[in-house]
């Protein structure tokens, strides 16, 4: 079992206080957006044996187990994060595995540089993800019913939004959503900026259901993503609740602290709320234009006290243990690799005392006992 020393990424949207508060350290004054736990080459966790990515590369079967290597290859298939949003992230969508492989192969064949700002596919993997709230957490997830979206836009009283309102009443629903998102993202930038400004003023005045969009517009004035965001479901998670984001589902995190887990990929197609490249034709090919409920997940408890967040993805499995004062030792040994993250209290994992924000990597089959009083999240795979 290896204690992990993890990198904190200072993205501009990050909260300057949420992660330091969890870790019990003084804020630096700079945004601290994500703490990465895993073997992603961009910021691998460090261990006493070296960077985790190199530890795994040296002996994949010992670290990951034969079944995980046979199923996912010789790399850790997931990336675990603490995510602290102090401002909205970009409105985005992820490809499925077939789309990712085809898109990556195409850009490689065309010689698009890996670091080019217009590159869409950084790897050939899909990126399903799960976010579990540690604090109250706001996000956008999946399309609203088009008639509900029409009502929200119509309630702003902005004349230039009327054509979108009319389109959203058309049938079939998927075509209506596609046509409106396309129109929003391809509109004349100057005209759209004026529309967004009017919509922002109305959202600010009306408050209530419009308040999240007023806040988004405050961070991204004039961005067409402000209107696109109003096509999506707004959801507020309470601590312990989670969202699963599958392929093709447009989403954005707005505010809050959570534990995020994802397949080990960096493939993102952006829809707005960003100064970065937006490839509208490719985006429209990837997005699933269907209304959906956000599908808030609550953990399912097993007899041994493990609370599992069930998803259809095998590259990761997230669960938690809430250990009361005086609880007995729990044996977490598995034939698959694990990362254990403490988010509350003080928990002993093997030889390591873990405080909030501290984590360990447990190689496949290695003994993993925890005791103490607190909360431990467990990240592993399904094989």
225 contacts: CB under 8 Å, gap ≥ 6: 90, 91, 216, 271, 272, 273, 274
Helix (H, G, I), strand (E, B) or coil at 353: strand
Rg of the chain, C-alpha, whole Å: 22
75 contacts: CB under 8 Å, gap ≥ 6: 39, 53, 56, 57, 60, 64, 264
d(CA 360, CA 340): 5
Max distance between CA atoms of the chain, in angstroms, equals 65
DSSP-derived secondary structure letter, 59: -
Cα–Cα nearest to 364, from 345, 351, 383, 348: 383
Cα–Cα nearest to 63, from 75, 79, 72: 75
Q: Which of 3, 75, 144, 270 is catalytic?
A: 270
Element (H, E) at 301: strand 300-301
Sequence length of the chain is 383
**Cis (ω within 30 of 0) for the bond into 207?**
no
d(CA 313, CA 129): 9
Known catalytic residue at 270: yes
Catalytic residue annotation: 270
């Amino acid at each position: 079992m290896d204690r992990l020393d993890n990198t904190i990424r200072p993205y501009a949207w990050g909260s300057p206080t949420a992660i330091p508060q969890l870790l019990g350290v003084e804020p630096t004054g700079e945004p601290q957006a994500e703490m990465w736990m895993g073997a992603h080459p961009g910021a691998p966790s460090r261990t006493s044996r070296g960077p985790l990515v190199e530890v795994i590369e040296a002996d994949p079967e010992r670290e990951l187990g034969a079944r995980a290597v046979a199923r996912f290859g010789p790399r850790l298939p997931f990336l675990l994060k603490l995510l602290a949003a102090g401002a909205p992230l970009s409105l985005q969508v992820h490809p499925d595995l077939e789309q990712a492989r085809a898109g990556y192969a195409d850009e490689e064949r065309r010689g698009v540089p890996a670091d080019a700002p217009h590159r869409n596919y950084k790897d050939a993997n899909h990126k399903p993800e799960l976010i579990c709230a540690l604090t109250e957490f706001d996000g956008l997830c999946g399309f609203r019913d088009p008639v509900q979206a029409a009502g929200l836009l119509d309630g702003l009283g902005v004349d230039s939004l009327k054509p979108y309102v009319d389109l959203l009443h058309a049938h079939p629903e998927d075509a209506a959503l596609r046509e409106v998102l396309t129109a929003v993202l391809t509109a004349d930038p100057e005209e759209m900026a004026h529309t967004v400004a009017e919509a922002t003023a109305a959202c600010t005045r009306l408050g209530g259901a419009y308040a999240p969009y007023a806040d988004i517009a405050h961070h991204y004035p004039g961005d067409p993503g402000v209107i696109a965001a109003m096509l999506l479901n707004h959801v507020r998670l309470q601590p312990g609740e989670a969202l699963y984001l599958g392929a093709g589902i447009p989403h954005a995190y707005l505010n809050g602290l959570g534990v995020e887990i994802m397949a080990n990929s960096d493939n993102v197609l952006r829809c707005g709320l960003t100064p970065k490249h937006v490839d509208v034709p490719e985006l429209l090919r990837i997005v699933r234009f269907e209304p959906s409920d956000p599908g808030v997940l609550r953990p399912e408890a097993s007899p041994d006290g493990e609370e599992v967040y069930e998803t259809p993805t095998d590259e990761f499995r997230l669960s938690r243990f809430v250990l009361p004062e005086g609880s007995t030792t729990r044996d977490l040994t598995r034939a698959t690799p694990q990362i254990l993250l403490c988010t509350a209290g003080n928990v002993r994992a093997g030889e390591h005392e873990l405080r909030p924000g501290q984590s360990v990597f447990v190689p496949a089959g290695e003994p993993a006992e925890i005791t103490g009083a607190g909360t431990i999240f467990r990240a592993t795979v399904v094989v």
